Amino acid sequence: MPFLDIDNVTKSYGNVEVLHRVDIGVEEGEFLVLVGPSGCGKSTLLNMIAGLENITGGTISIKDRVVNDVHPSKRNIAMVFQSYALYPNMTVGQNITFGMEMHGIPKPEREQKLAEVAKLLQIEQLLARKPGQLSGGQRQRVAMGRALVRDPDVFLFDEPLSNLDAKLRVDMRTEIKKLHQRLKSTIVYVTHDQIEALTLSTRIAVMNKGYVQQLGTPKEVYDTPANMFVASFMGSPSMNLLPATLREANGGLAAELTGAEGQQIMLNLSQNGPNLRSYLGKPVILGIRPEAITDADGVDRNAKNTQALRNMVHVTEPAGSDTFVETSLSGKACIARMRADVDVHAGQPFDFVVNMDKAVVFDPETEDRIVD
Amino acid sequence: MPFLDIDNVTKSYGNVEVLHRVDIGVEEGEFLVLVGPSGCGKSTLLNMIAGLENITGGTISIKDRVVNDVHPSKRNIAMVFQSYALYPNMTVGQNITFGMEMHGIPKPEREQKLAEVAKLLQIEQLLARKPGQLSGGQRQRVAMGRALVRDPDVFLFDEPLSNLDAKLRVDMRTEIKKLHQRLKSTIVYVTHDQIEALTLSTRIAVMNKGYVQQLGTPKEVYDTPANMFVASFMGSPSMNLLPATLREANGGLAAELTGAEGQQIMLNLSQNGPNLRSYLGKPVILGIRPEAITDADGVDRNAKNTQALRNMVHVTEPAGSDTFVETSLSGKACIARMRADVDVHAGQPFDFVVNMDKAVVFDPETEDRIVD
Amino acid sequence: MARSDRAPQDMRTTLQNWLPKLVLSPSLAAMMVFVYGFIIYTIYLSFTNSKMLPSNEIIGLENYTRLFGLSAWTTALINLAIFASLYIVICIAIGLLLAIFLDQKIRGEGVLRPIYLYPMALSFIVTGTAWKWLLDPGIGLENTMHLWGWESFKFGWIKDRNYAIYTLVIAAVWQSSGFVMAMFLAGLRGIDNEMLKAAQIDGASNWNLYRRIVIPLLRPAFLSAFVILAHLAIKSYDLVIALTGGGPGRATELPATFMYSYTFTRNQMGVGAASAVIMLMGVAAVMVPYIYAEVKESR
Amino acid sequence: EDVEVLHWWTAGGEAAALNVLKEDLASKDIGWRDMPVAGGGGEAAMTALRARVTAGDPPTAVQMLGFDILDWANQGDVLADLSEAATAENWDAVIPAAIQKFAKPNGTWIAAPVNVHSTNWVWANKAVLDELGIAQPTTWDEFIAALQKVKDSGKVALAHGGQPWQEATIFDSAVLASGGPEFYQKSMIDLDPEALNSPEMVAAFDKMEQLRGFVDDNFSGRDWNLASAMVINGEAAFQIMGDWAKGEFLRADKVPGTDFLCFRVPGTEGVVTFNSDEFVMFKQNDDAAKAAQIEMAKAAESPEFQSAFNIVKGSVPARTDVSDEGFDDCGKQAMKDLKAASEAGTLLGSMGHGHANPAAVKNAMYDVITAHFNGEYDSATAAEELLNAVEGAQ
Amino acid sequence: MSGGAQDQAIRTGRVTRTFIYVVLIFFALFYLLPFFIMLINSIKPLPEITGGNMMALPTDPTIEPWKSAWSTAQIGVEATGLKPYFMNSILMVVPAVAISTILGALNGYILTKWRFRGDNLIFGLLLFSCFIPFQIVLIPMAMVLGKIGLAGSLTGLILVHVVYGIGFGTLYFRNYYAAFPTELVRAAMMDGAGFFRIFWRIMLPVSGPIAVVCIIWQFTNIWNDFLFGVSFGGLDAQPVTVALNNLVQSSTGVREYNVHFAAAILAALPTLLVYIVAGRYFVRGLMAGSVKG
Ligand SMILES: Nc1ncnc2c1ncn2[C@@H]1O[C@H](COP(=O)(O)OP(=O)(O)OP(=O)(O)O)[C@@H](O)[C@H]1O
Ligand SMILES: Nc1ncnc2c1ncn2[C@@H]1O[C@H](COP(=O)(O)OP(=O)(O)OP(=O)(O)O)[C@@H](O)[C@H]1O
Ligand SMILES: [Mg+2]
Ligand SMILES: [Mg+2]
């Protein structure tokens, strides 16, 4: 049985079910990220693990002990909240040691732990301050410190970075990652930021409307999304989802699309399995990530299946390190990510090169990926 | 004289000067972005243009008219606020037409304008709702609509996207860009998000601590930052700023760095001007953007000056479309941006390839870029 | 750069700059006359030989000397000290207790809350008789308990010189503690839920949660409650008149009743004014730091 | 034209009595604008009056008592001159001199006295006395013996309400009983320091102490009418109270002489301590108002009104020439006593009701009397304190 | 506050909950006791009161005392009951509350959104005025009212209440508006709205919660006032509290306690009603403004 086992868990408020039979097992030392749009039930699930919400159905167990009816203070869990929830009336030091104090740990030991953690997080010089006197990033570290001193079985993070500005967020992300690599602790981490999800996790659970849409490693989720929701949710800019028709071509399969001027475009697919073949002649949705559409120079030299494609450019967005180019395929806006210096102009046609290695195909009805 | 002329403008609160002799001219149809860290004075400057704050020194003129003492409602300016500042008690329609009503525009004309703008922004079906019933993106559009109906001389935007989640932010960014391209209006736009600054602007003013650090096109600011502040502020992840010593090598100049294991590394510079030469043998700061450090396959095929470099990898962060790799050079963390599939592992050495075309060099004392 | 074309401030801008001050000025003028003018006038009166009506004969500090020579005034001050401290402490204690209990997702909160609050709606002109009855041992609680068979029950404080002041506290607490409850409840509802969750995760029992986290967080509510109660205590008048009329003897005289009786029934307006000045100084001692903090905070 | 009347006669009987006056005036085309302010024996009304006078808008007539009138008379030119009415009706002759002292303080008539209450009455439940075999006491010692007898029987001997004015009411009688009218005059009215702190005064306080011993424990704060009710119900035997208490007995359908007894406090016979309600007239500006005011004064002083009002009120007319027809036995007795006392010079202003000395002194005395009654001082100290308080208040 | 929206952050055990309910109910009884006494005794015939147990339920309930208190009890010379005085109170309370609330709102608006040098001092001065003991203003106020010719009139009485209501009104609104985004005001300014239009169109429509608090507060204070009513009310503007006082405090005669109690409840009815009807917005309003938690 997994270290933290969420078994068939359901949650209802009144008669509205907001979580539907969620089934996730988290192994010791794993970094599980829950990701999904606002209101999909991430916080609710986290709160149930922490014991802050009642469990309507199913069981949650930690280290083989069912904790459904265990008071939050008895679960040996540490949690970092979105708003940090630092106690404004206590100093940083008191904030960090409060939990130990509540657990009756003697003062010398508390002091020693505090010193250790403060050093680790580089907040030694802040220990006497009140939270009101800290910057966002410092608060975040204090909140983390409060969790770290506890040495809990499981760490829970509820969108701990969403209050920070972009720059700080990147820094803190790296720090959390390093921390996990060093401590090998078991972490469940909620975010709705897909970059955070992809960079931090060992596994990701993508949620939507109370359902777990996909549970897998970041690579699985990014490269083989289970359905169109996952495909469009993960990655920024998100995957281009283009209506196409499946055709036979050159002995393999190809997707037929319409260019900006109505020209027919055929893109050969790398897949050729029987499942996919059954869609021959039928409409499908072709999923291509923006970074797979570039110019001839920018294309990945290890790509096996690249194809050229000439189409009209609608908008160009130079963004320093990259230039985003918007074109349209099959009547839908399609974003391509190019190098910064690429010579591309809005209103003119351009020779795109598409890397089809990682293109995926979805059933337009069920929206699920067609597994080859 | 420029369309909007900010001439030697100073602002003090009490005896604290928060803006120091700011001098910016904005031409008609320009999209000027003010960018800078929190508290640098962006909002203050915008408010002074709008007439919401008094001007301590200097003049601001619009269309050749000095507006220092003109009431905000008489400046023919429209402003979109960070929090949108929609009137919670009015419907969307009333919110949009309120300004026209205040200016005594007759009802039929208001209705017609409202219809036009609602169509443009695709909020026709929302007109009867209250702001509380709208999503963040919808609110943003209403706020924009309120400004658009006014047909002002200048649009002011104060961080209009910072309240949105990442996905929506990207969408709205594109919409604003399209709108500007269509309406050719003069816009001053405040943000502290460098991606927004780079993608939207025709010119950027980078501010810090009340000073304008650099004023130029996005490309100028990104490729030839005036100083280390601009260099590190623009771009995400930010430019690697590595302590180096300037050496003579192969007839040109080279920067000498130390690798993770203490090995000496020489990187040839493309520049060779007299200014730079005067630093020979002295410490400099070498600035290299993360996307200029890749693996052999990922390197820009148009790059003229690429150099290999073997170094230890500390952390890898796969982020879907890219993988970020942290190594260390001259004792500083150095981030490289790689393709998603690159075969790189933490704790092992790796063969990086550095594109030196766009490397820049700074004076460690003044922190200014050494212009060749 | 042609600076000559600098536009003169237009009418509207000028008007808009002056309007706020203009609109504020009637209130300010009223305040200056009706509050501060009157305070100055009272101070002036306290130095005059005013008896039944104001007089202009200045007699220096004589009224103050007399005031502090009066044992009734000393009694009133001591009574105020006892009354105010008990009243404030008990109101805050009960208000806090009820607020915390009511905040536990209580069924029937909607019914209980108005019950706790309603006494604030009633003046002692309305409830005075009922209170007098309740506290009167002959007909009130004591008698009722006796009728119900609890013969040894004793509750005759209102008739006892040494205890009567406590009956005032009971009635005053009855009137204001619900309001204090509302203030604390508002404070409690304003506390970030995540903070409470965090403390539980930290292992705090409910007791520790309140003692260490919630109550310290209610500081602003404590402050507001203290200020409101303190000024109510100093101004308490109706209560005394309705319940004890200052008796037994003068055992429940408070500065407010003292001031009223010297000014209006004993025709010694000068002494009354002097006592009013002392009271105002008391109010100021409590209020000015609070107002200063209140004003400071907004900067 | 209207008259505005500020008064605190709001109880049913009193108000009905006032209505007589109101209707009388109505018949002369004078309207009555009523401004009743009850509470605390007119305290609230005096506050309201002060506000109105200060505002320059005084009422036409104000119900007032004793030294308050003199205080107002000394406030300069605020009161009206009623000489016209007084001459016409010959007030000088029919109103006792002791009352004129208040109604005509500086030689001019400023007030129309409405009634005279006498305060040194004892009210007794006859059934209780009969049952215990107690005869109407005639001396202080008999009175004490009677009280003791009642107390021994387990009943409350003396019904009393612990309010300063009620204690002062008893004190009036105690002073009279211990020093007689001259001493009363010297100590209470002339405020002679020697008299104030004298053996007689100590004796008076001793008498208070004696009485205190006959009061039940639950007296504090009790209203006087509740004390009366105790006598009416037979819970208590005696009450020392002004003649307004009679109304309570009558309203309970008790008959004087058969159900209850009224007699002067033993030891004070031949003396009447009084208080007198008067309509003090405030100066009016226009002539019509002045005329109406004079009419009102005349009407208030008319024998018809005096008789009608006082029958209801339980007091006696302020003028001594009104027929006692229609008054009950106690009333008739009171009218006789008044006339006799007036002639003998023993009609004395009641200290307890503000007819002996100014409000400041009165209240200062209240403080001492109440404190002593509640056991704060012994009698000797009380006498000393009384002197101190009076000197302090002057 | 409906409990449903807010999830219960703190868990309590069953024993604790029972204890909590017991305490809450005990206090509810304590608060209700005086009112209960008034109520039951107001429907007893007089003999039952004088002869019986104060807390006993009426054996022979009657509504006569209520009728009497309302329309026939002797208040002064006239046996009018409280009825006519009710009207006086309403005529006084409504404008006084309205004016002081609007002034408070305007002041709060200016002191938070149109700040100028010295504004904090002005606010401090206004705030201190809340705490002045009313007894001391009687005489000078009477002088001023006399000078301006408003003595003894309804207008004068309203003026007095407005003057002493401004302080609290300003306090409430200022604290509420302080949390109100200034950007909205600026946006309206950019839209071309002036001082008053911003107030009427932007600020006032969202001031509901605090207006409730302010109105409740002013209403109860003004309705319950006795001192000003009796001193400045003159002949035609005597509020119901003065009438109640005249009824209850009458110096001699039988005390009709049942009528007194009925009259007391009648006089208090409007404020009670205000608390019960608007009470649920009270805590919400306090949350929104006056108490910073
Ligand atoms: N107490 C409650 N009563 C009823 N519904 C609730 C309650 N709490 C949450 N919900 C609903 O449950 C769903 C899940 O809420 P939850 O807070 O878990 O979302 P989330 O995924 O954390 O979103 P976010 O990213 O915005 O924090 C939402 O639709 C929400 O409206
Ligand atoms: N009313 C004021 N009094 C004193 N200092 C002020 C005032 N308003 C702003 N400042 C100071 O002026 C500086 C500039 O503020 P401004 O609001 O313009 O920053 P900003 O660049 O818009 O920041 P952000 O990105 O956080 O919005 C800050 O240091 C701020 O503290
Ligand atoms: Mg959440
Ligand atoms: Mg800003």
**Contact by Cβ (8 Å): B8, B21:** yes
Map D322-376 to HEC letters. CCCCCCCHHHHHHHHHHHHHHHHCCEEECCCCCCCCCHHHHHHHHHHHHHHHCCC
Looking up tokens 């409990």 gives E3
Provide the 8-state DSSP code for B17.
E
Cα-Cα-Cα-Cα dihedral sign, residues B297, B302, B307, B311:
negative
The pTM of the full predicted model, rounded to 2 decimals, is: 0.81
| Cβ partners under 8 Å of residue E216, min gap 6 | E274, E275, E278, E279, E282
Helix (H) or strand (E) holding D106: none
d(CA E109, CA C237): 34
Query: Residues A226, A246: one domain?
Result: no
pLDDT < 70 stretches in chain C: 1-10, 12, 247, 249, 297-299
pLDDT the model gives residue A212: 94
pLDDT given for residue A130 in this prediction: 87
Whole-number Å distance, alpha carbon B18 to ligand 2 midpoint, is 8
Residue B311 has pLDDT above 50, yes or no: yes
Distance A171 CA to ligand 1 centre (A): 29
A40 and A84 assigned to the same domain: yes
* Residue C114 covered by a domain: yes
pLDDT confidence tier of residue B148, bands split at 50, 70 and 90: confident
Domain boundary among B202, B233, B264: B233
CB contact under 8 A, D36 and E75: yes
In this structure, what are the phi and psi dihedrals at residue E117, rounded to the nearest 5 degrees?
A: -60, 130
For ligand 1, pick from E1, E2, E7 the residue to mutate: most ligand atoms within 8 Å of CB. E7
3 state DSSP class of C260: helix
pLDDT of C299 reads 45
Average pLDDT of the segment spanning B157-181: 79
Q: Which residue of C has its CA nearest to A77?
A: C201
- Identify whether the C-beta of residue D220 lies closer than 8 Å to the C-beta of residue D167: no
For residue E214, give the nearest of E97, E91, E109, E78 by alpha carbon.
E97
Instruction: Report how far residue D105's alpha carbon sits from residue A123's, in angstroms, rounded to the nearest whole number.
Output: 88
3-class SS of residue D208: helix
Q: Which residue of A has its CA nearest to B289?
A: A321
Alpha-carbon span D166 to D150, nearest angstrom: 21
Contact present, A172 and A140 (Cβ < 8 Å): yes
In a domain, B371, yes or no: no
Q: Which of B233, B265, B291 is the last residue of a domain?
A: B233
Q: Give CA–CA dist C31/B295, Å, rounded.
A: 77
**CB atoms A102 and C201 under 8 Å:** no
Q: A152-166, B48-62, B313-327: which range is least confident on average?
A: A152-166
Please name the member of B193, B315, B320 whose beta carbon is closest to the beta carbon of A177. Answer: B315
In a shared domain, residues B207 and B91:
yes
Burial of C145 (0-12, 13-18, 19+ CB in 10 A): middle
> Which atom of ligand 1 is closest in space to residue A207's alpha carbon?
21
Spell out the residues 6+ positions from residue B63 whose beta carbon is closer than 8 angstroms to its own: B3, B153
What percent helix, strand, coil does chain D show, rounded to 5? Answer: 55, 15, 30
Q: Pick from A172, A198, A233: which residue ends a domain?
A: A233
B11 lines ligand 2 (CB under 6 A): no
Same-domain status, B224 and B249:
no
CB A243 within 8 A of CB A282: no
Q: In what order do the strands lie in the sheet with D121-125?
A: D156-158, D236-240, D121-125, D260-264
Distance of CA C88 to the CA centre of its chain: 9
C159 by Cβ neighbours in 10 Å (0-12 / 13-18 / 19+) ranks as: buried
Whether B83 and B188 share a structural domain: yes
Q: How far apart are CA A298 and CA B297, in angstroms?
A: 10
In a domain, A209, yes or no: yes
What is the fold of E78-292?
MetI-like fold (1.10.3720)
How confident is the model at residue C95, as a pLDDT?
93
| Alpha-carbon gap, residue B295 to B349, rounded angstroms | 12
Whether the predicted pLDDT of E98 surpasses 90: yes
| Domain ranges, ordered by start, for chain E | 3-61, 78-292
pLDDT grade, residue E10 (50/70/90)? Answer: low
- In terms of phi and psi (left: phi > 0; alpha: psi -120 to 50; beta: otherwise), the region of E132 is beta
Helix, strand, coil shares, percent, chain B, to 5? 30, 35, 35
Is E152's Cβ below 8 Å from some Cβ in D?
Answer: yes
Q: Specify the range with the lowest mean pLDDT, choosing from B317-326, C146-155, E97-106.
A: C146-155
For residue C66, is it within any domain?
no
Nearest to B320 by CA among A321, A206, A158, A239: A239
Is residue C129 in some structural domain? yes
Residues D165-190 pLDDT 10s: 889 999 999 999 988 889 999 999 89
Place of tokens 């006359």: C33
Is residue C39 one of the residues assigned to a domain?
Answer: no
E3 pLDDT above the threshold of 50: no
- Kindly list the protein residues whose Cβ atom lies closer than 6 A to any atom of ligand 1: A 13, 18, 36, 38-44, 192; E 7
**E96 vs B346, which has greater pLDDT?**
E96
CATH number at residue A305: 2.40.50.140
**Looking at chain E, which subunits does it touch, using at least 3 CB pairs closer than 8 Å as the criterion?**
A, B, C, D
| Residues of chain D positioned with their CB less than 8 A from the CB of E77 | 15, 18-19, 22, 32, 34, 36
Residues of C in contact with B5 (CB under 8 A): 1
Write out chain E residues lying below 8 Å of C294, CB-based.
124, 127
pLDDT digits (tens, 9 = 90+) for B112-137: 999 988 888 888 888 998 888 887 77
Predicted confidence at residue E289, as pLDDT, reads: 55
Nearest to A99 among C194, C203, C217 (CB): C203
pLDDT at res. B51: 87
- Core vs surface per residue B171-181: b (16+ CB within 10 A) or e: ebbbebbebbe
Mean model confidence pLDDT for chain B: 88
- Chain B contact set for E187 (CB, 8 A): 79, 81, 85, 87, 146
Which CATH number do you get for residue B55?
Answer: 3.40.50.300
Taking the Cβ of residue C39 and every Cβ of chain E, the question of whether any pair is shorter than 8 Å is answered with: yes
Q: For residue B135, what is the DSSP state? A: -
Q: What is the pLDDT of residue E292?
A: 39
Total of domains in chain A: 2
Pairing of strands B31-35, B203-208: parallel
**Strand spans (E) along chain B:** 4-13, 16-26, 31-35, 57-62, 65-66, 77-80, 154-158, 186-191, 203-208, 211-216, 240-249, 252-258, 264-268, 283-288, 293-294, 306-319, 322-329, 332-339, 349-355, 360-362
Size (chain E), residues:
293
Contact B31, B202 (CB under 8 A): yes
Cis peptide bond prior to B237, omega within 30° of 0: yes
User: CB contact, 8 Å: E143 with chain D?
Assistant: yes
Question: CB within 8 A of D319, min separation 6: which ones?
Answer: D91, D94, D95, D113, D301, D303, D306
The Cα–Cα gap between A303 and C14 comes to: 70
Cβ-count burial D268-288 (b if 16+ within 10 Å, e if not): bbebbbbbbbbbbbbbbeeee
CB contact under 8 Å between C190 and E137, yes or no, is no
Residues 6+ apart with CB under 8 A from D207: D140, D174, D177, D178
Considering every ligand atom, which ligand is closest to the CA of E3? Answer: 1
Mutating to test ligand 2, I would choose from B9, B18, B38, B190 the residue with most ligand atoms within 8 A of its C-beta, which is: B18
| First vs last C-alpha separation in chain E | 16
- Collapsing DSSP to helix, strand or coil, A79 comes out as strand
Which helix (H) or strand (E) element contains residue D160?
none
Q: Do the beta carbons of residue B196 and residue B180 sit within 8 Å?
A: no
| pLDDT number for residue E9 | 54
B40 lines ligand 2 (CB under 6 A): yes
Domain assignment present for C59: no
- Residue A167, chain E, CB below 8 Å: the answer is no
Point out which residues pair with B357 in neighbouring strands. none
What's the domain range around B178? Answer: 4-233
What totals of helices (H) and strands (E) does chain B contain, helices first?
9, 20
C190 touching A (Cβ < 8 Å): no
**Chain C residues lying within 8 Å of B54, measured CB to CB:** none
In a domain, C81, yes or no: yes
From the list B47, B89, B102, the residue facing E191 with the nearest CB is B102
> CB–CB of E291 and C110 under 8 A?
no
Number of domains in chain C: 1
Structure tokens at A353: 């090169």
pLDDT lower than 50: segments of chain A: none
Q: Which of B47, B73, B88 shows the shortest C-beta gap to E206?
A: B88
Which candidate in D8, D37, D75, D220 is best for mutational testing of the C interface (most C CBs within 10 A)? D220
Chain E residues 77-136 within an 8 A CB cutoff of chain D: 77-79
- Measured between alpha carbons, how far is E99 from E93 in angstroms, rounded to an integer? 10
CATH number, position C290: 1.10.3720.10
Considering chain A, what is the average pLDDT of its residues? Answer: 88
Domain range holding C113?
Answer: 71-298
What pLDDT is recorded for position D68? 84
Question: Are A210 and A278 members of one domain?
Answer: no
| Judgement on whether residues B59 and B146 belong to the same structural domain of the protein | yes
The atom of ligand 2 lying closest to the CA of B46 is 18
Q: What pLDDT is stored for residue D123 in this prediction?
A: 92
Based on the fold, state whether residues B145 and B223 are members of the same structural domain: yes
A49 and A161 part of one domain:
yes
For ligand 2, atom 25, name the residue with the nearest CA.
Answer: B38
Which chain A residues have a beta carbon less than 8 Å from that of E11? 71-72
Which parts of chain D sit beneath pLDDT 50?
Answer: none
pLDDT at B170 over 80: no
| Interhelix angle E154-178/E208-224, nearest 10 degrees | 150
B248 and B352 co-located in one domain: yes
State both tokens at E79.
């046996």
Residues of E in contact with A71 (CB under 8 A): 11
User: B372 lies in a domain?
Assistant: no
Comparing CA positions, the residue from C255, C37, C239, C258 lying closest to residue C122 is C239
Judge whether residue E6 has pLDDT over 70: no
ipTM computed for the complex: 0.79
Whether B70 contacts chain E with CB within 8 A:
no
